[in-house]
Amino acid sequence: MAHKVTLIPGDGTGPEVSESARRVLEATGVQFDWDIQQAGTDVMEKLGTVLPEETLKSIKRNKVAIKGPITTPVGGGFRSVNVALRMALDLYACVRPCKTYKGVRSRYDKVDIVIVRENTEDLYAGIEFEKGAPETKRFIKYVSKLSGQKIREDSGISIKPISVTGTKRIVKFAFEYARKNDRKKVTAVHKANIMKFSDGLFLSVAREVAKEYPGILFEDRIVDNLCQQVVARPEEYDVLVLPNLYGDIISDLCAGLIGGLGVAPGANIGDGCAVFEPTHGSAPKYTGMNRANPTATILSGMLMLRYLGEKEAANRLEKAVAAVIAEGKHVTYDMKPTRDDPTAVGTSQMADAIIAKLKEV
Ligand code: NAD
């Protein structure tokens, strides 16, 4: 029976990479019944919203979605559609496997780290007070009185909530992931030495949860120290569990270790739904140029196949992607020795090469 899946092309280079992923997924032989839905800047003018209700309803109905990246303006403008989607569907776990494939342009060759990022709390919760707004002035006055600490009047404020409930479920998710995928160690990442009541709570809850999994090693690292350690000795890390903001930053750091954003896939998972998407953004400067690397979205599709129970197709797809990367011929500009290499192929041609390889593996 065909899998009913919501497909959100996204904006910027999103439509190009998601179309490549759709073609490759179909070429695995697995049957899909795509429910194509819109979100992002491209629908704003038509529907007056960046996240139409119908798109949310479709994901709730189908339980599984794959999406291209969506642009978020920096500073002002609307809030991130991606964050809104994760919040609305309570997709609390962002899973980003970072693995080096032979042939990628990276200084490292043995990276195999899985990032488990909390997706609903922390500075991403969207509780913000704009500089100078009347409620901000009231808030500053109230908190200054309550804490006895001075906050400058010309401050903008973002709140960082981290709860026992949110931490427990993400750390459990990380350990369950480790158990099911035969992983040996979970490292909790935090800045508990400075933020004692938010990151400190994250760490103490993580330590409690770890006791329920005696077969899996547990350790913790302060986030700044982790940055230098992951760069110096990535092979020492296995599964990382992090609050939202550190998870976002360390995801891109680890993407850098494995050959760049063009090859880093991801999944946002909740108890009822899952949305698969690359780690990278909409790379708007390449829009419509058939230049963006489709690998991250295609590998997100591979994660989706595993989620749907299509293990054999997922393994074949991963092998086909790995073979095309290892050959290094039909790959996009970012996988070539120099950025202006004339032998680089376009987004859709790299997808074609993976489709052709699927017949051989
Ligand atoms: P980005 O990931 O879009 O691009 C950063 C750089 O990485 C690009 O300039 C490009 O050199 C490279 N890159 C990214 N994807 C690539 C690909 N597939 N192939 C080859 N090179 C690639 O990050 P940004 O420029 O910071 O963000 C652009 C927009 O995307 C912003 O509006 C941001 O908010 C949004 N964004 C969306 C998501 C999402 O949809 N989940 C995630 C991150 C950023």
* Residue 82: pLDDT over 90: no
CATH 1.20.1630.10 at 1-79+274-361, yes or no:
no
**Protein residue with least CA distance to atom 41, ligand 1:** 69
Residue 26 burial (CB count, 10 A): 13
How many Å apart are CA 114 and CA 146, to the nearest integer? Answer: 40
Contact 249/99 with Cβ under 8 angstroms?
Answer: no
For the ranges 16-30, 38-52, 177-191, the lowest mean pLDDT is seen at 38-52
What burial class does residue 142 get, using C-beta atoms within 10 Å of its C-beta: 0-12 exposed, 13-18 middle, 19+ buried? exposed
pLDDT 10s digits, 202-243: 999 999 999 999 999 999 999 999 999 999 999 999 999 999
Q: Where are the domains of the chain?
A: 1-79+274-361, 125-159
pLDDT 10s digits, 49-78: 889 999 999 999 999 999 999 988 666 566
Q: Provide the token pair at 31.
A: 């049957």
pLDDT of res. 212: 98
Ligand 1 atom nearest to CA at 10: 40
Contact 114/238 with Cβ under 8 angstroms?
Answer: yes
CB of 335 closer than 6 A to ligand 1? no
Alpha-carbon dihedral 205, 209, 214, 218, rounded to 10 degrees: -40
Q: Catalytic residue, from 224, 285, 311, 341: name it.
A: 224
Maximum C-alpha span of the chain: 69
C-alpha count within 13 angstroms, C-beta hemisphere, residue 278: 31
DSSP structural state of residue 336: S
CB of 70 closer than 6 A to ligand 1? yes
Q: For the chain, what's the residue count?
A: 361
Per residue, the 3-state secondary structure of 99-120, as one string, reads ECCCCCCCCCCCCEEEEEEECC
Collapsing DSSP to helix, strand or coil, 334 comes out as: helix
pLDDT 10s digits, 239-260: 999 999 999 999 999 999 999 9
Output the CA–CA distances (angstroms, integers) from residue 193 to 9, 110, 223, 302, 356, in the order listed.
42, 31, 10, 38, 52
